[in-house]
Amino acid sequence: MFFDYWHFGGFVNKVAPTNMKYEIQTYDLTSRKIDIQTKKKHLKPIKKHKITPFIFSKWGLFHGVTKAQLSRGLTTTIFLQILLGNVFKFNTIISSKSSKIRLIRGGSKLYKDFSSSTSAGEISQGLSILYFESKGYPFCSHFDDFRRDHKVAKNGESPDFVFEKTPKDRILVEAKGSFVAPETASNLKAPLAKALSQLKSWGVKFSPPLKKSYAFAVLLRELEDPFNEESLLAVVDPEETEAPNAANVPPSYVRRVNYSNWLQLMGYNELATIILSDGEHSRAEHTFFAISIAGEQYAIIPLIPVQSENTFDVRRQEATPVDIRYKIFPKLDRFIFVGMRLSVLKELSHLSTRGNLNNITSLETLDQFRDIENDDLINGSIFTDGSVIGEADIHTLDTVNSVRLKF
């Protein structure tokens, strides 16, 4: 993805340093599962159901959308291009004029046809990661990676994610999203019915079984849409039982994938491979640059614009903090970054050097995800697993500590 260098600078300097909070109406429609799956049944009215507002931040959404798109086979540069594209796209299409999440006027038509459904799906997937983080499920694997690694054949459409609270408490999630045209009723039943069909019978193919699965749908409306309905989020929780001959899933699997994907995003591809592997590997030291965020040290990777003929690519920067501060970013006041809590990296280093990565399940995590809200210095999002994404004042790089860890 390529952008004009100066437009990038203007965006980061003026638009990125905010962390607006949004609210979306949330409905648990588990009791309406039969109505959803029966063609002639009507789902509405849903307003009789209890509404629970789900509150999240702009950078939390960017964090969730980015984590949802991490999968094996992509390079770090592509990951960072995707991340930056998400920040640009969703900062543009989601209105900043309403605390109840809305698209900008014309937003439902801004990305027409396939692009529209893709963008809506990306927002829904990102919100599903945020939502289940709030329910205590911080670790994530794409379901198709999960299925392939345990030699379970694909038979029909499959769900999006496996989320984990503990190795014995994993859930399946299929997320659907759509942009609703102004002055029209939303069609909530169709995406939920489709999601339920994609969840059916998958959880029982694994041991321990994934006894819980959730159909998840997000419908977003435009600002000033006169239709008497807000943007909404709905979940349905069908029940399943274990099947014989289920594929055994190691306790450490989901957490290994979770951390491997984020390390790959940060550009530590060798470490990403080590986290997934049980085989022997040569030990080597790796350098991390850490800054203080919310009272803790976090190893960060700035997103670096690489200029070429008035366009630039974005990649992980190998330079020292001094070079980043004074040579690469001389025109920018703020920068976007991704990172990981340093204490998590130290524990991963400890487990790796002792050949004991199966004990990754004992790794200490945060009590809950949190937003970073310090407009003058840093804004962003920290997830329970220790991953962080945000933007910061360029002077933050003056306080960077260099840390070397062996893996």
* 229 lies in the same domain as 146: yes
* 320 lies in the same domain as 238: no
Assigned domain for 323 exists: yes
pLDDT at 310: 46
* 145 lies in the same domain as 241: yes
Q: Taking 90 as the threshold, does the pLDDT of residue 374 lie above it?
A: no
Q: d(Cα 209, Cα 212) in Å, to the nearest integer?
A: 9
Q: Of 207, 225, 248, which marks where a domain is finished?
A: 248
Measured N-to-C along each axis, helices 113-134 and 76-93 cross at an angle, to the nearest 10 degrees, of 100
Residues ≥6 apart with Cβ < 8 Å to 295: none
Q: d(Cα 2, Cα 90) in Å, to the nearest integer?
A: 17
Q: Is the preceding peptide bond at 182 cis, omega within 30 degrees of 0?
A: no
Question: Quick one: pLDDT band at residue 94, thresholds 50, 70, 90?
Answer: very high
* 309 lies in the same domain as 237: no
Helix spans in 160-302 (H): 189-199, 253-265, 269-276
pLDDT at 6: 44
Q: Taking 50 as the threshold, does the pLDDT of residue 313 lie above it?
A: no
Nearest to 164 by CA among 230, 107, 113, 211: 211
pLDDT at 111: 61
* 394 lies in the same domain as 343: yes
Phi-psi region of 136 (alpha: psi -120 to 50; beta: other; left: phi over 0): left
Distances (CA, A) of 194 to 25, 26, 127: 21, 19, 18
* 84 lies in the same domain as 104: yes
- The domain total for the chain is 2
Question: Quick one: pLDDT band at residue 27, thresholds 50, 70, 90?
Answer: very high
Assigned domain for 349 exists: yes
Residues paired with residue 308 on neighbouring β-strands, in sequence order: 311
* 217 lies in the same domain as 305: no
Q: Would you say 37 and 193 are in contact if contact means Cβ atoms under 8 Å apart? A: yes
pLDDT at 378: 92
For residues 292-300, give the mean pLDDT: 93
Assigned domain for 123 exists: yes
Assigned domain for 13 exists: no
Assigned domain for 8 exists: no
Residue whose tokens read 């939303």? 186
* 3-class secondary structure, 29: coil
For residues 59-69, give the mean pLDDT: 94
Q: d(Cα 343, Cα 340) in Å, to the nearest integer?
A: 9
Residues ≥6 apart with Cβ < 8 Å to 197: 157
Other CB atoms within 10 Å distance of the CB of residue 269: 14
Q: Would you say 75 and 261 are in contact if contact means Cβ atoms under 8 Å apart? A: no
Residue whose tokens read 């390390």? 263
Question: Quick one: pLDDT band at residue 75, thresholds 50, 70, 90?
Answer: confident
* 291 lies in the same domain as 388: yes
pLDDT digits (tens, 9 = 90+) for 202-223: 998 999 989 899 999 999 999 9
pLDDT at 330: 58
* 236 lies in the same domain as 257: no
* 122 lies in the same domain as 226: yes
pLDDT digits (tens, 9 = 90+) for 129-180: 999 999 999 999 999 999 999 999 998 899 999 999 999 999 999 999 999 9
Q: Taking 50 as the threshold, does the pLDDT of residue 1 lie above it?
A: no
**Strand bridging mode 232-236 / 21-28:** parallel
* 235 lies in the same domain as 262: no
Assigned domain for 373 exists: yes
Distance of CA 296 to the CA centre of its chain: 21
Question: Quick one: pLDDT band at residue 334, thresholds 50, 70, 90?
Answer: confident
Q: Would you say 98 and 223 are in contact if contact means Cβ atoms under 8 Å apart? A: yes
Region of poorest pLDDT, from 94-108, 185-199, 303-317, 352-366: 303-317
Q: Would you say 158 and 206 are in contact if contact means Cβ atoms under 8 Å apart? A: no
Q: Of 248, 278, 307, which marks where a domain is finished?
A: 248
Assigned domain for 3 exists: no
Residues ≥6 apart with Cβ < 8 Å to 194: 176
Q: Which helix (H) or strand (E) holds 218?
A: strand 212-220
Residues ≥6 apart with Cβ < 8 Å to 398: 321, 325
Assigned domain for 261 exists: yes
Range of the domain at 400: 253-406
* 220 lies in the same domain as 303: no
Q: Of 229, 248, 267, which marks where a domain is finished?
A: 248
Structure token digits, residue 284: 């080597």
